[in-house]
């Protein structure tokens, strides 16, 4: 199967597959949302079925919960788990300081709650998600439906005094109707082009009445696993100052990781 993937899907697959090495039996694991996180859930499901891995998963969206149950992972709520050993999730953008933009899939609120309720968060992504400065990807901001147009105006006024290159805001749509999150809220997508001070922007946005949460993840990520289309996968542990690289060989018989360097 893996040999038939496109380069971008290979990159996502190897990042997800490599990240499963951080998961141990008995763990309570936060399961992210998005295309790369879906690969992770499928890989973990395979380990549950074929290797006897025993984990409980806390999904960050209803679609992740459905996929997890489908592949055989026991699913519980965060209230039941209370605290997690590990969360593994994707990112829409990440910079060299481990700052992230998340929420392209509409699950940023649950993703941030689950990630911060974990001993460790690992981000998995294809190498194209790494940027020098955040902002090319629209920043999602979750807002309550009541008065959302007023909230949108307040956000636009606030952006005038901040270090961003663009200030266009759009209500995310689902066909002809506003997109609705799992929590019943709407999402404003902020087309900022460049975010000069992500920490400041995150703090200021969350002070605006009507804003529930924003898609900037600051000081939350502990490790990054970056996949490449040629099968290489890089693991960065920022706290330990370690970088390692492996390669996944897409062979018809016996796909295995081959250590390249430490």
Query: What residue numbers bound the domain in which 106 lies?
Result: 2-129+219-261
98: left (phi over 0), alpha (psi -120 to 50) or beta: left
Work out the average pLDDT over 235-262: 66
Same domain, 86 and 151: no
Q: What string of DSSP letters covers 211-231?
A: EEEESEE-S---EEEEE-TTS
Residue 239 annotated as binding site: no
Q: How far is CA 133 from CA 43, 93, 98, 174, in A?
A: 31, 9, 11, 29
Asked if residue 7 has pLDDT above 70, the reply is yes
* Count of domains for the chain: 2
Distance, CA of 256 to CA of 18 (rounded, Å): 10
Q: H-helix or E-strand containing 101? A: strand 100-101
Q: What are the φ and ψ backbone dihedral angles of 36, each rounded to 5 degrees?
A: -70, -40
Residue 102 annotated as binding site: yes
Same domain, 98 and 30: yes
Is the overall model pTM greater than 0.85, yes or no? Answer: yes
Residue 259 annotated as binding site: no
Same domain, 163 and 233: no
Residue 103 annotated as binding site: yes
Same domain, 189 and 78: no
> What pLDDT, on the 0 to 100 scale, is given for residue 22?
98
134: in domain: no
Same domain, 65 and 99: yes
Nearest to 261 by CA among 244, 247, 240: 244
Q: Tens digits of per-residue pLDDT, 62-120?
A: 999 999 999 999 999 999 999 999 999 999 999 999 999 999 999 999 999 999 999 99
194: in domain: yes
Active site residues: 111
Same domain, 199 and 101: no
- CATH number of the domain within which 252 lies: 3.40.50.1360
């Amino acid at each position: 199967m893996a040999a038939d993937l496109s380069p971008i899907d290979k990159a996502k697959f190897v990042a997800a597959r490599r990240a499963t090495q951080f998961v141990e039996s008995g763990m309570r694991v936060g399961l992210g949302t998005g295309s790369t996180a879906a690969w992770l859930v499928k890989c973990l499901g395979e380990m549950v079925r074929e290797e006897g891995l025993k984990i409980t998963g806390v999904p960050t969206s209803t679609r992740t919960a459905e996929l997890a149950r489908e592949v055989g992972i026991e699913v519980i709520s965060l209230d039941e788990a209370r605290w997690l050993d590990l969360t593994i999730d994707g990112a829409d953008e990440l910079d060299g300081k481990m700052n992230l933009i998340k929420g392209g899939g509409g699950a940023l609120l649950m993703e941030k709650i689950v990630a911060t309720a974990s001993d460790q968060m690992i981000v998995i992504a294809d190498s194209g998600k790494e940027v020098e400065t955040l902002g090319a990807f629209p920043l999602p901001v979750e807002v309550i439906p009541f008065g959302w147009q007023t909230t949108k105006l307040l956000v636009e006024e606030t952006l005038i005094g901040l270090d961003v290159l663009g200030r266009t805001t759009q209500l995310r749509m689902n066909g002809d109707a506003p997109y609705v999150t799992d929590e019943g809220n709407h999402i404003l997508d902020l087309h900022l082009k460049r975010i000069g001070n992500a920490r400041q922007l995150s703090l200021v946005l969350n002070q605006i009445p009507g804003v529930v949460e924003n898609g900037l993840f600051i000081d939350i990520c502990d490790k990054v696993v970056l996949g490449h289309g040629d099968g290489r996968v890089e693991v960065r542990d920022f706290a330990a100052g370690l970088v390692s690289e492996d390669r996944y060989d897409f062979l018809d018989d016996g796909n295995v990781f081959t250590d390249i360097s430490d």
